[in-house]
Structure 1
Amino acid sequence: MLMAELDRRRRTNRLAAYAPYSKQEEFHEAGALFRERLFMAGNQLGKTLAGAAEAAMHLTGRYPDWWKGKRFDRPIVMLAGSESYELTRDGVQRLLIGPPMNEEEWGTGYIPKADIIATTRRSGVSGALDSVTVRHVSGGASTLLFKAYEQGRGKWQANTVDFVWFDEEPPEDVYFEGITRTNATRGLIAVTFTPLKGMSTVVARYILEKSPDREVITMTIDDAEHYTPEERQRIIDSYPPHEREARTKGIPSLGSGRIFPVPEEDITVSPFAIPKHWVQIAGIDFGWDHPTAAACLAWDRDADVIYVTKNYRKREAPVHTHAAALKPWGSWLPWSWPHDGNNDVAAGENLASQYKAQGMPFLAERATFEDGSNSVEAGLMDMLDRMVTGRWKVFSTCSEWFEEFRLYHRKDGKVVKERDDVLSASRYALMMKRFARIEGGDTNWNFKARKVV
Structure 2
Amino acid sequence: MLEGKNPRLTLALALQEKARRARRNRLKYYKPYAKQREFHALGARCRERLFSAGNQLGKTFSGAYETAMHATGRYPDWWEGKTFDKATIGWAASVTGELTRDGVQRLLLGRPGLPAERGMAALPADAIKDVRPGTGIPNAVSQIVVRHGGGGDVQAGESVIGFRSYNQGREKFQSETLDYLWFDEEPPVDIYMEGLTRTNTTLGPVYLTFTPLMGMSQTVMRFLVEKAAGTSVVFMGIYDAGHYTKEQADTIVASYPEHEREARAFGKPVLGSGAVFPVPESEIIVTPFAVPDDWPRLCALDLGWDHPTAAVWLAHNLDADIVYLYDVYKRAKQIPAVHASAIKARGAWIPVAWPHDALQTQKDTGVPMRDTYRAEGLNMLPERTQFEDGSIGVEPGIQIMLNRMQTGRFKVFSSCEGWLEEYRLYHRKDGVIVKQMDDAIDASRGGIMSLRFAKTNTVSNFKRYRESWRS
Equivalent residue for 1:226?
243
Q: For residue 144 of structure 1, report the CA deviation from its aligned partner.
A: 0.5
Residues 137-152 of structure 1 mapped to structure 2, 5 A cutoff? 137-152=154-169
Residues 124-203 of structure 1 mapped to structure 2, 5 A cutoff? 124-134=136-146, 135-136=148-149, 137-203=154-220
Give the distance between the partners of 2:350 and 2:29, measured in 1 at CA.
Answer: 47
Q: For residue 244 of structure 1, report the CA deviation from its aligned partner.
A: 2.9
Q: For residue 374 of structure 1, report the CA deviation from its aligned partner.
A: 9.8
Q: For residue 309 of structure 1, report the CA deviation from its aligned partner.
A: 4.7
Q: For residue 58 of structure 1, report the CA deviation from its aligned partner.
A: 2.1
Summarize the Cα distance change of 1:312–1:370 in structure 2 as closer, same or farther, 3 Å threshold: closer
Runs of at least 5 residues in structure 1 that lack an aligned partner in the other structure: 316-324, 344-352, 354-360, 445-453
Summarize the Cα distance change of 1:400–1:248 in structure 2 as closer, same or farther, 3 Å threshold: farther
Equivalent residue for 1:349?
none
Summarize the Cα distance change of 1:271–1:210 in structure 2 as closer, same or farther, 3 Å threshold: closer
Summarize the Cα distance change of 1:276–1:365 in structure 2 as closer, same or farther, 3 Å threshold: closer
Give the distance between the partners of 1:226 and 1:408, measured in 2 at CA.
Answer: 32
Give the distance between the partners of 1:291 and 1:14, measured in 2 at CA.
Answer: 47
**Residue number among 437, 440, 460 corresponding to 1:441 in the alignment:** 460
Cα distance per residue 1:362-402 (max 9 Å; x no partner): 86799964899999878656533432453202356766654
| C-alpha contact (below 8 Å) 1:332/1:440 kept by paired residues | no
What residue identity is the alignment partner of 1:384? L
Give the distance between the partners of 1:159 and 1:178, measured in 2 at CA.
Answer: 9
**Residue number among 318, 321, 324 corresponding to 1:307 in the alignment:** 324
Q: Percent identity?
A: 49
Give the distance between the partners of 2:458 and 2:239, measured in 1 at CA.
Answer: 31
What residue identity is the alignment partner of 2:97? Y
Summarize the Cα distance change of 1:285–1:127 in structure 2 as closer, same or farther, 3 Å threshold: farther
Give the distance between the partners of 2:238 and 2:265, measured in 1 at CA.
Answer: 5
1:34 aligns with 2:46: yes
Give the distance between the partners of 1:17 and 1:279, measured in 2 at CA.
Answer: 54
What residue identity is the alignment partner of 2:117? E
| C-alpha contact (below 8 Å) 2:216/2:425 kept by paired residues | no
Equivalent residue for 1:90?
102
Summarize the Cα distance change of 1:364–1:237 in structure 2 as closer, same or farther, 3 Å threshold: closer
What residue identity is the alignment partner of 1:238? S
Q: For residue 85 of structure 1, report the CA deviation from its aligned partner.
A: 2.5
- Counterpart of 2:90 in 1: which secondary structure? strand
Equivalent residue for 2:425?
407
Give the distance between the partners of 1:24 and 1:326, measured in 2 at CA.
Answer: 36
Equivalent residue for 1:253?
270
| C-alpha contact (below 8 Å) 2:298/2:353 kept by paired residues | no
Larger radius of gyration: 2
Cα distance per residue 1:336-356 (max 9 Å; x no partner): 698999x9xxxxxxxxx9xxx
Q: For residue 171 of structure 1, report the CA deviation from its aligned partner.
A: 3.4
Point out the more displaced range, 300-309 or 253-262.
253-262
Give the distance between the partners of 1:400 and 1:224, measured in 2 at CA.
Answer: 24
- Counterpart of 1:182 in 2: which secondary structure? coil
What residue identity is the alignment partner of 1:405? Y
Equivalent residue for 1:52?
64
Equivalent residue for 1:122?
134
**Residue number among 409, 412, 417 corresponding to 1:391 in the alignment:** 409
| C-alpha contact (below 8 Å) 1:401/1:423 kept by paired residues | yes
What residue identity is the alignment partner of 2:460? G
Give the distance between the partners of 1:180 and 1:138, measured in 2 at CA.
Answer: 26
Give the distance between the partners of 1:405 and 1:419, measured in 2 at CA.
Answer: 9
Q: For residue 52 of structure 1, report the CA deviation from its aligned partner.
A: 1.5
Equivalent residue for 1:74?
86
Summarize the Cα distance change of 1:208–1:63 in structure 2 as closer, same or farther, 3 Å threshold: same
- Counterpart of 1:90 in 2: which secondary structure? helix
Summarize the Cα distance change of 1:429–1:34 in structure 2 as closer, same or farther, 3 Å threshold: farther
Give the distance between the partners of 2:62 and 2:192, measured in 1 at CA.
Answer: 20
Q: For residue 57 of structure 1, report the CA deviation from its aligned partner.
A: 2.4
What residue identity is the alignment partner of 2:255? S
- Counterpart of 2:232 in 1: which secondary structure? strand
What residue identity is the alignment partner of 1:387? M
Summarize the Cα distance change of 1:366–1:148 in structure 2 as closer, same or farther, 3 Å threshold: farther
Give the distance between the partners of 2:106 and 2:255, measured in 1 at CA.
Answer: 26
| C-alpha contact (below 8 Å) 1:56/1:111 kept by paired residues | yes
Summarize the Cα distance change of 1:201–1:143 in structure 2 as closer, same or farther, 3 Å threshold: same
- Counterpart of 1:174 in 2: which secondary structure? helix
- Counterpart of 1:111 in 2: which secondary structure? coil
What residue identity is the alignment partner of 1:246? A
Summarize the Cα distance change of 1:23–1:380 in structure 2 as closer, same or farther, 3 Å threshold: farther
Equivalent residue for 2:279?
262
| C-alpha contact (below 8 Å) 1:336/1:367 kept by paired residues | no
Give the distance between the partners of 2:79 and 2:325, measured in 1 at CA.
Answer: 33
Cα distance per residue 1:5-56 (max 9 Å; x no partner): 4323432332333333333234334334433333222211221112112222
Equivalent residue for 2:338?
none
1:278 aligns with 2:295: yes
What residue identity is the alignment partner of 1:240? P
Summarize the Cα distance change of 1:167–1:131 in structure 2 as closer, same or farther, 3 Å threshold: same
- Counterpart of 2:103 in 1: which secondary structure? helix
Summarize the Cα distance change of 1:332–1:43 in structure 2 as closer, same or farther, 3 Å threshold: same
Q: For residue 332 of structure 1, report the CA deviation from its aligned partner.
A: 9.5
What residue identity is the alignment partner of 2:426? Y
- Using the size of structure 2 for normalisation, the TM-score is 0.71
Q: For residue 195 of structure 1, report the CA deviation from its aligned partner.
A: 2.5
Cα distance per residue 1:76-130 (max 9 Å; x no partner): 2111121222221221112222233332332222223333233222244343222
Runs of at least 5 residues in structure 2 that lack an aligned partner in the other structure: 1-10, 333-341, 363-371, 464-471
| C-alpha contact (below 8 Å) 1:284/1:335 kept by paired residues | no
> What CA RMSD, in Å, does the superposition of the two structures yield over aligned residues?
4.8
Q: For residue 67 of structure 1, report the CA deviation from its aligned partner.
A: 3.5
Give the distance between the partners of 2:248 and 2:255, measured in 1 at CA.
Answer: 11
- Counterpart of 2:198 in 1: which secondary structure? helix
Give the distance between the partners of 2:122 and 2:17, measured in 1 at CA.
Answer: 18
Q: For residue 167 of structure 1, report the CA deviation from its aligned partner.
A: 0.9
